[in-house]
Amino acid sequence: MAYLFSSESVSEGHPDKVADQISDSILDQFLAYDDKARVAVETLVTTGQVVIAGEVHSDVYIDLQTIARNAIKRIGYTKSEYQFDGDSCGILNAIHEQSDDINRGVDNGTETEQGAGDQGMMFGYATNETESYMPVSLDLAHLIMRTLADIRKEGKTMTYLRPDSKSQVTVEYDDNGTPQRIDTIVVSTQHDEFDTDDERMLAKIKDDVTNILIPRVKAQINSSKVLALFNDDIKYFVNPTGKFVIGGPHGDTGLTGRKIIVDTYGGKGAHGGGAFSGKDSSKVDRSAAYAARHIAKNMVAAGVADEMLVQISYAIGVARPVSICVDTYGKSHVDMTDGEIAKKIADMFDLRPKAIEKNLKLRQPIFTETAAYGHMGRKPEVKTKTFTSRYHETKVVEVELFTWEKLDRVDEIKEKFGLK
């Protein structure tokens, strides 16, 4: 029987994402000047206020206030009428030294045997229903949000847009789990109060979403398979409450790590519960989730299965995973059980935390870019980043972003699994 599946995304101006971006901007600043830094930073944002808390182990000192204010202004909170802006908000710093007990577990043994920073299970997922090996509902929800942000920053059309927004895409699947059509698109966007008549104002926003935003979204889609999902019967819900002037941290308190499903697979696959932003890669919540995605994506791209979920679990202070589990949802193309596939993955991929850090180059300052529009399904790229500090020299570094999205193990997997 056909079924509907939905995924949501949020903009960089959503209060939870503001918090994520501040936390990851702080992490990147530490890593730019100390690639051995251990960082676990949490951020809370609310009306006119930012609270930064957490634990850090590093030899360098950074200016948290400047980093936080720059992140807020980069997002677009630059006007006093938002009741939250980068120049005037208060910033409270409550960061302290990381626990010696945690350090003892992580630093246990030789560097290559660096222990996991915590216990827990992490998941990676991939599906061949899109070119990015991501669920199509989430891929489209992210694309809608990125495109709306581009329109806002260009300032040529939809000039009433404010930074906070959300999207949701519902897709109908057939009995075989193949996407058939888009059923519903929801877009809620914060806006200026540009008309005294609320109904007229809402009508203008609805018209712009369907005639400006959605055509621009479709123009960026290269896959004919995905474009075919658009149809004349899509139900659109635009600002369903009728008005969205009060938003951002003034409308809703934001916290680091409160959009973990948006960050990963939009509700497909599974999630171990650990957030990413603000954590350095010694925390397997982050690094092992990236490694699991890297494995799942390369396995699906190699043709081992049409869809795959990979679970990796750890014990704190122990380098090697406690377990590796694979689910191919009955869509495997190799004459192996899921347990046998998991065993072969364990033989092929070094999943010790230090090996993950090295293989995926996670000691670089690469995390600010992950903190909005998803950590998975992004395009790997090399980028030059400049870091300034009142306490240290200016640093210009070349970094590689989204290394876990590289399809660099496909040929090896095909050989190991006897695939052509």
Q: Has 174 been labeled as part of a binding site?
A: no
Q: Has 259 been labeled as part of a binding site?
A: yes
Question: Residue 371: pLDDT above 70?
Answer: yes
User: How far, CA to CA in Å, does 76 sit from each of 70, 162, 165, 266?
Assistant: 10, 8, 12, 25
Enumerate residues 6+ apart whose C-beta is below 8 A from 356: 281, 284, 287, 288, 290, 291, 350, 362
Percent of the chain predicted with pLDDT > 90: 92
Task: Return residue ranges of the chain for CATH 3.30.300.10.
Answer: 3-9+136-246, 120-127+284-417
Q: Has 313 been labeled as part of a binding site?
A: no
Q: Has 243 been labeled as part of a binding site?
A: yes
Mean model confidence pLDDT for the chain: 95
* Assigned CATH for 120-127+284-417: 3.30.300.10
Q: Has 275 been labeled as part of a binding site?
A: yes
Q: Has 21 been labeled as part of a binding site?
A: no
Q: Has 79 been labeled as part of a binding site?
A: no
**How do 395-401 and 381-387 pair as beta strands?**
antiparallel
Enumerate residues 6+ apart whose C-beta is below 8 A from 281: 287, 353, 356, 357, 360, 362, 363
Question: Residue 98: pLDDT above 90?
Answer: no
Question: Residue 105: pLDDT above 90?
Answer: no
Q: Has 379 been labeled as part of a binding site?
A: no
Question: Residue 108: pLDDT above 70?
Answer: no
Q: Has 333 been labeled as part of a binding site?
A: no
Q: What is the pLDDT of residue 111?
A: 61
**Topology adopted by domain 3-9+136-246:** GMP Synthetase; Chain A, domain 3 (3.30.300)
pLDDT digits (tens, 9 = 90+) for 217-263: 999 999 999 999 999 999 999 999 999 999 999 999 999 999 999 99
Q: Has 14 been labeled as part of a binding site?
A: yes
Q: What is the pLDDT of residue 114?
A: 76
Q: What is the pLDDT of residue 102?
A: 56
pLDDT digits (tens, 9 = 90+) for 47-84: 999 999 999 999 999 999 999 999 999 999 999 999 99
- Which pLDDT band holds residue 107 (cuts at 50, 70, 90)? low
3-class secondary-structure state, position 324: strand
CB atoms within 10 A of CB 221: 17
Q: Has 166 been labeled as part of a binding site?
A: yes
Backbone region of residue 158 per phi and psi (left: phi > 0; alpha: psi in -120 to 50; beta: other values): left
Q: Has 42 been labeled as part of a binding site?
A: yes
Check: CB of residue 23 under 8 Å from CB of residue 41.
yes
Q: Has 268 been labeled as part of a binding site?
A: no
Q: Has 55 been labeled as part of a binding site?
A: yes
Single-letter residue type at 207 = D
